[in-house]
Structure 1
Amino acid sequence: MRRSRTSWLSGTCGSTRHRGASSTPATCSRRRCSESEGDNVVRRLVVNADDLGLTVGVNDGIFDAHDHGILTSASLFAGAPATLDAIRRARGRPSLGVGVHLALVDGTPTLPPRRVPTLVADDGRFRRSWKPFIVACLRGRVSLAEVELELTAQVDRLRSAGVRLTHLDAHKHVHAYPPVFAIVARLAGRFGIPVVRVPYERWSPIGDGSARGTRRLQALLNAAMRPWAQRDYRIAASHDLRTPHFAGRIHTGILSVDALAGVVRALQPGVTELMVHPGYADDELERTGTRLVESRQQELDLLCSLEARALLVGERVDLVRHDLTHVIKRSFRHVS
C-alpha cells in the first residue's frame, strides 16, 4: 500500500493510488535563471532521482517526491520494466526535468545482443555490476564502438517517445571511465543535451570524523576516481557541456536530514546536482536485486519533509532543473 502524504505545496493529501494523476507545483515560475540576485550569488540545487523506470513503485516514489517534495529532476532508464509507465506519467509533469540513465550494466541492452556481443554475457544480459564491466574495459574486452551503438539506441528510444531530455548520466556511474565518458559527451553534443554528470564529489566527509562504514567506503571510492573526473571535466569542456557540482554518491542509501543539511550548507555558487534514490519498498523492488530497498522509502520521506523545505528556505537555495529554464518553488522562501 502506498501511504498518503500532505503536500506542502498545496496543503492537500497526495497519494499514488491515482497513478494517472499529475501535479504541477503551483509555485513553479518559468523564467531564465540569473547568476546573481541583488548582492548575493545564487546557489542552485538540482535534486535528481536516479532509476526512474526501474519499477512502478520507484516511479511512484519519484513522482511523489516531485509533486509533494523538493525533487526537480529524474534520470530515466530506456529499457527497464516500468519505463513506459514512467514516460506516460512524466508527460503530465512538465516541471520535472528528465534525462537518460544510460545503462551498460545490470539489465538488458536496447539493441539485440548479437549486435553488442562484448557488452553481454551468454544469457544476453549486461554484466551484473560496474566492477566486471570496468575490468573488461581495462583488459580491452569491451568494444567502444558497441558502447556507442547501444548508448545511441537508448537515447534514440526516449527521444522517439517524445521525452525532452535535459541531461545524461549512467547507472552505477560507469560513464565515469573516460573512454566511455567521451562517447557520452559526443552523444550529448549530437542530440543537443546540455548537461552530463561527472559523479565526483569535491567535498568528502571522510576527514571530519563522522564517516563510518558504507559512507567511508563510498568516500574512498570517490577519492580514487579523481583522476578520471579530471579527464572527464576536460572532455566535457571540449564539447561545450555543463557539468554541475555533484553530491550524493557518498550518502547513497544512507541519506539523512543531517547529511542533507551538510550538503546544502556546503553548496558553492552555481549549480550542484544532488543524486537521490526515492521509491516505495515492495516485492517488485526486492526482485530487482538492488541493495537500495528500505532506504528508498526513507529518502522519499526526507524529500517530502518539512525539515528539507525549511533547510532550503534558511539557506536561500534555488531549486532548478538541469536545463535551468525553471526556477522551482521560489515563493516558499516567503512562507513562514
Structure 2
Amino acid sequence: MLRLIVNADDLGLTNGVNRAILQAHRDGIVTSATLMANAPAFDEAVAAVLTSPAYQAKQLGIGCHVVLIDGVPLSPSEQIRTLLGGRSPAPHFRKKLWKFALAAVAGRISTDEVELEATAQIRKLQKAGIELSHVDCHKHTHMFPRVLEGVLRAAQATGVKAIRNPFEPAFARNIPSADRTRARETAILERLWGKNFGSAVAKHGLSTTDGSLGVTATGTLTTEQFSNIIRNLPESGTYEFVCHPGFYDADLASAGTRLLESRQVELDLLCSSSARDQLRSSQVNLVNFRDVVSATESNPAVVHPMP
C-alpha cells in the first residue's frame, strides 16, 4: 500500500495561514498540519482546530512544529543559552539556518536545552487541549543528530508517538523540474545524517515515515513539480508531502518569512482537481500520522477518502 501524509507547516503564523491550512484540508488534499507554539496567531489557530469537525473526527492530524530558529523561546533564556542568537529587543533564536547548522555541527547546541525548549512548546499545545499526532521542526532542524536526540526525548516524555522524517528520497528530489543546486544540498544532508535517523527514532519508541517530499521544492512548488514527484512514488511505503499554504496579505508580509506569494500558489495547487486526479491515478491513499502510529502498533490503518 502506498500512503501519503500531506502536512501543512506553520499553523499559527498568521490569520491568513490558519485559514488557508483549514481550507486546504476542507477543499483539498491536506491531511495534517503542525502548529507553532510561539507564533502570533497561536490562540486563534487553537480555537479553529478545536472546533473543527475534521480534527474531532481525527481526519486532520495536528502536530507540534518545534521552533528552534527564527523565533522567540518559551524557556527562560538562562536555561537555553546555546539556542539563542541575541537579546535585541528580547532573547530570540538564531535567525539564519546556516548559523544554526554551523553551531549544531560544531557541537555547540546542547541536546538538553533542545529537550527543554521542545518540551515547553509541546506542553503548551497539550495544555491548550490539542491532542498531538506527531512532532517536527521548523526548517527541519531535527536533521542534526544533537537536535534530533533532544526532540525525541521531549516527544517521548510528553507522549507524542511520531516524528517527521526530514530527509527527502532521491526519487523526489531528482525530478526534471527540480532546482539542481538545492537537490544536491538535500542529497548531501541525507548522506550525512539520514542513515542513522531511523535507528534513533526506533530507540525512543516513535514512529516515522519513509521520507519527506517537497523539501527541495519549498518556495517554488508548481503543478509540474507536484505531478513529477507523485508519478515517481514507489508502489508501497509511507511518505509525507511537506507544504506551506497561506493567504498573501499584510500580516504575512510582516511576519518575517521568506515564503510569501508561494503560499498562495501552494494553496491553489492543494485545492485543485489536478492534484486530486494525480493522487487517484497514482493510487495514493491519504493518511495522517495517527494512522502511521496505528500501523506501527499493528492495528488496521485508516485510509481517508480522497476529497
Residue among 31, 35, 45 paired with 1:86: 45
Counterpart-to-counterpart distance in 2, 1:134 and 1:314: 39
Residue among 209, 213, 229 paired with 1:247: 213
Residue among 245, 259, 270 paired with 2:237: 270
Residue 305 of structure 2 corresponds to residue 329 of structure 1: yes
Shift of 1:219: 0.7
Counterpart-to-counterpart distance in 2, 1:254 and 1:148: 32
Aligned counterparts, 1:32-181, within 5 A = 42-93=1-52, 94=55, 95-120=59-84, 121-123=86-88, 124-181=91-148
Counterpart-to-counterpart distance in 1, 2:80 and 2:243: 30
Alpha carbons 2:168, 2:215 under 8 Å: kept:
yes
Counterpart-to-counterpart distance in 1, 2:175 and 2:283: 25
Moved more, 315-324 or 101-110: 315-324
Specify the code of the residue in structure 2 equivalent to 1:329.
Answer: P
Moved more, 235-244 or 136-145: 136-145
Specify the code of the residue in structure 1 equivalent to 2:248.
Answer: A
RMSD of aligned residue pairs (Cα, Å): 1.7
Shift of 1:209: 5.0
Aligned counterparts, 1:194-233, within 5 A = 194-204=161-171, 210-211=177-178, 215-226=179-190, 227-233=192-198
Say if 1:208 and 1:57 are closer, same or farther in 2 by CA, change over 3 A.
closer
* 1:76-114 Cα distance to aligned partner (Å, 9 max, x none): 101100111111101122121000100110010011323
Alpha carbons 1:72, 1:96 under 8 Å: kept:
yes
Moved more, 273-282 or 87-96: 87-96
Structure 1 unaligned runs (5+)? 1-41
Report the counterpart of residue 304 of structure 1 in structure 2. Answer: 271
Residue 149 of structure 2 corresponds to residue 182 of structure 1: yes
Say if 1:138 and 1:311 are closer, same or farther in 2 by CA, change over 3 A.
closer
Say if 1:119 and 1:317 are closer, same or farther in 2 by CA, change over 3 A.
same
Shift of 1:255: 1.4
Specify the code of the residue in structure 2 equivalent to 1:111.
Answer: S
Say if 1:87 and 1:220 are closer, same or farther in 2 by CA, change over 3 A.
same
Report the counterpart of residue 199 of structure 2 in structure 1. Answer: 234
Counterpart-to-counterpart distance in 2, 1:207 and 1:327: 28
Alpha carbons 2:170, 2:187 under 8 Å: kept:
no
Moved more, 253-262 or 138-147: 138-147
Shift of 1:271: 1.3
Structure 2 unaligned runs (5+)? 292-300
Moved more, 110-119 or 100-109: 110-119
Give the SS at the match of 1:47. strand
Say if 1:53 and 1:317 are closer, same or farther in 2 by CA, change over 3 A.
same
Specify the code of the residue in structure 1 equivalent to 2:23.
Answer: D
Moved more, 77-86 or 310-319: 310-319
Give the SS at the match of 1:197. coil
Specify the code of the residue in structure 1 equivalent to 2:34.
Answer: S
Specify the code of the residue in structure 1 equivalent to 2:261.
Answer: E
Query: Highest CA radius of gyration, 1 or 2?
Result: 1
Say if 1:209 and 1:318 are closer, same or farther in 2 by CA, change over 3 A.
closer
Specify the code of the residue in structure 2 equivalent to 1:247.
Answer: L
Give the SS at the match of 1:240. coil
Residue among 260, 263, 285 paired with 2:252: 285
Counterpart-to-counterpart distance in 2, 1:146 and 1:179: 10
Q: How many residue pairs were aligned? A: 287
